[in-house]
Structures are given as structure tokens and as C-alpha cells.
Chain A
Amino acid sequence: MASLEFTQEQIEVMSNAELLETLRQHGINCGPIVPSTRLVYQKKLLNILSGGLVPWKQATGYEMEEGRHRTESYSDKGDEEEENADIFDSTEEEDEMTPAKLNIVQTKRGKAVAPERLLASGSLPKSPRRRIVPDPRFSRSDAGSELSQSQQSSDEMMIAESEKLLKPLKKERRVPVYLQVLIFIFVSIIIYLIIYNLEPVFKHPISRH
């Protein structure tokens, strides 16, 4: 365990003002510490204090399935502090990203960890989080164009449709199966009768009369 100026517990019990002040002392231009931003700034401070030992970026969506326990999802071995200081370089400028490096590393780690995580996680806290993996398959075309129309009703529609996605996917049939089969048989009989009663092409037209 590296010796930190503040431990994680101390950071968590800091007041907003103290956290703000500490971040500023480390040269970070931070915004207001409000309930929605506090968690992110806590992690940032932890990252800064540990000199990059605690990785900054999350891995890919595979490791999100454990819910809100982010510290566990950081490492392969379950330790909170990693030795991969070289990969997660905290000396980069704050506003610059190297998504290439981080993404490549993360996808490798994410893929390596995913099956183990899924097995080890046991009961998942939220079943909707299972849907992270097949997320790209839900290709909703023209979602933007839908919203440019009546937005209020479409909002409710979107939520209703999204909720439907969380349940097992079921194709809604407007026409029942048996009805489709009946129609198919009916149409095929009609076509058969037509073809059967068609006059042959090569017969002499005058011979009929």
C-alpha cells in the first residue's frame, strides 16, 4: 500500500469545501463540488495522490455489470491498487485523452476479466445491466428523427419501448400464426386452381370452335 496524503476514507468524509481546496492545491481546475460531481472528484483526488497507481479510466462495459462498486472493477486481481502505473499515466494533461492506448488496454483487460467477473459476481444487483453487452445490437434507426416530431409523446414511447427491451425480446405479431398459415393455404389453393385451369399455350386456337 502506498502512503497517501489522505486515505480513501478520509477523502470520503471530507467536506465539499475541503475537497475543493485539496484539489486546487494539487493544481486541478475543478468545478463546484455538488452531489453529482463529488464522486468523480474524489476519484480524481485519489488518483492524483496515489501518483497514478489507482487507475483513472474505467474499463469497458463488461466490468460495469457489478453495479456501483467501482473500486472492485479496477483491477484483475481484486486489489484496489494496481501496478500498471505505466499504462494509466497521470502526468498527462488533464484535458487531453489518449483513448487509443487506454481503449486498447482496457478492451484487452475487459475481455480477459469479463467471463471471470460474470462467474464471480453471482447474483447481479440489477438485471438491466446484463444488457450492456448486446447493447450495440439494439440499433434503433432514426431515433433522432422520431424525437424531432412530437417530443412529449415520443418521450413516453421511448421509455415504454426501452422498458420493453429490458424484458426478454419478443416479436409482437399483429397477425396470429394460425391466421397467417390459413391465409397462405388459401392463397396457394387459388393460385393452383388458376394455373390448373389455364389454357395450354401451344394448342391450336381454331380447333376449339
Chain B
Amino acid sequence: MKWFDTKSFNSMATTSQKHRQFVSEPMGDKHVSALAGIKDVLALRLAQEGYDKAYVVLGQFLVLKMNKKLFVEWLMDICGANAWQAECCHTCLHNWCEAFL
């Protein structure tokens, strides 16, 4: 996995509790703030843009063909997330897709 990639020094070595909880079950109707890396203000901004549920962000992730760069760029653009938060969200969605898609 990317976590053990020696190039990515800043990527998280362990997953957060939020990440593990999200990936452990189908996302169903969860709010977008259930995504790892997406907290209060970011979740609010995403909801304002129309991405109020996690599955809508998943939709965007899939439309971008699960491309990490594009998704991270899009997320940073739409809600002002920083690179780390966007990568957390990407990793979370990517792992979820590996498990359930």
C-alpha cells in the first residue's frame, strides 16, 4: 500500500479511527463528515456545494476514475482542503471501494 511507500514521507503510517470505521461497513446514507479527513468546516462546505452525503463524493471519485491526483485536486478546489486532508479522504474512499465495490 501507499503507506509503506518510501517516497511518501508525509503520508500517514497508520489509519485513523474514522478511516477504519468508514471502511468497515457499507457507507449507506452516511453524512460526508464521516469521511476520513473531512471535518466540520470542510463537511459544511461540501454540503453547500451539494455533496452532503458520502456517496455523492464517492460518485465524484468514481467519475474521476479513482485517479488520486484528480480527486485530490478536485477536493482541494471545492472545499479548500489541504493536501493531507484530501489524501486522507482519497485513501479512505479507495479502501472502501476495494472492500465493497
What is A's interface to B at a CB cutoff of 8 Å? Answer: 29-32, 34, 36-37, 39-41, 43-44, 56-58, 60-61, 64-65, 68, 70, 94-95, 97-104, 106, 128-129, 131-132, 135, 138, 140, 143-145, 147-148, 151-152, 154-155, 158-159, 161-163, 165-166
Contact = CB atoms under 8 A, between A and B. Distances in A.
B8 A32 contact: no
28 contacts: A31-B67, A34-B63, A37-B60, A37-B63, A40-B77, A57-B69, A61-B80, A65-B80, A94-B69, A97-B8, A97-B87, A98-B8, A100-B8, A100-B9, A100-B11, A102-B83, A132-B80, A135-B39, A138-B39, A143-B18, A143-B34, A143-B39, A144-B17, A147-B30, A147-B31, A151-B30, A158-B31, A159-B44
A171 B31 CA distance: 25
A174 B87 CA distance: 39
A35 to B, nearest CB: 11
Contacts of B39: 135, 138, 140, 143
A95 B67 contact: yes
Contacts of B65: 29-31
Given A60-B82, A103-B10, A40 B41 contact: no
A128 B83 contact: no
B44 A162 contact: yes
Contacts of A31: 63-65, 67
A103 B33 contact: no
Interface in B32-57: 33-34, 39-45, 47, 52
B41 A95 contact: no
Contacts, number: 137
A29 to B, nearest CB: 7
Contacts of A132: 41, 80, 82
Interface residues of B, number: 44
Contacts of A56: 69, 73
B7 A36 contact: no
Interface string B15-35: 001100110000011110110
B44 A166 contact: yes
Nearest to A154: B31
A154 B76 CA distance: 26
Contact of B42 (A39, A98, A135): A135
Interface centre among B7, B31, B72 (most CB of A within 10 A): B31
